[in-house]
Amino acid sequence: MMGLSNWLHWLAWFVKYFVFILISVAMETIFFLINTGKNGSVISYVSPTVLFVFLVVYALATIMFCFAASTFFSRGLYCSCEIRAQNRFIDLNLS
């Protein structure tokens, strides 16, 4: 695509979304650990580094899942609908 090799195209998409999610993970980590009053923070007994690493690993797994799911479909709309359907099915089974 556009004269790029496939691995470079996939890497560009990965880096783009990893940076977006990394900003969100950093903000989540800060918000979880801010002291909210007399009860302390939302998550009191965890190291900020451990929480940050856990959320980054979860973000990486999410990106990789989306990449894996996208290989089964030729259009993004079909993939998006299928992932939403799977999430609703999982939510119904867990509740």
Residue 83, domain member (yes or no):
yes
For residue 1, is it within any domain? no
Residue with tokens 């996208």: 70
The answer as to whether 88 is a domain residue is yes
Instruction: Tell me whether residue 62 is in a domain.
Output: yes
Sign of the alpha-carbon dihedral angle for 70, 88, 61, 43: positive
Tally of domains in the chain: 1
Handedness of CA 23, 17, 2, 81 (dihedral sign): negative
Asked whether residue 57 is assigned to any structural domain, the reply reads yes
**Inside any domain, residue 30:** yes
pLDDT at 10: 84
Instruction: Please give the helix or strand (H or E) that residue 79 lies within, else none.
Output: helix 76-94
In a domain, 77, yes or no: yes
pLDDT the model gives residue 76: 64
Q: Is residue 68 part of a domain?
A: yes
pLDDT in tens, 19-78: 999 999 999 999 988 888 787 778 878 889 999 999 999 999 888 887 887 777 776 666
Range of the domain at 31: 6-94
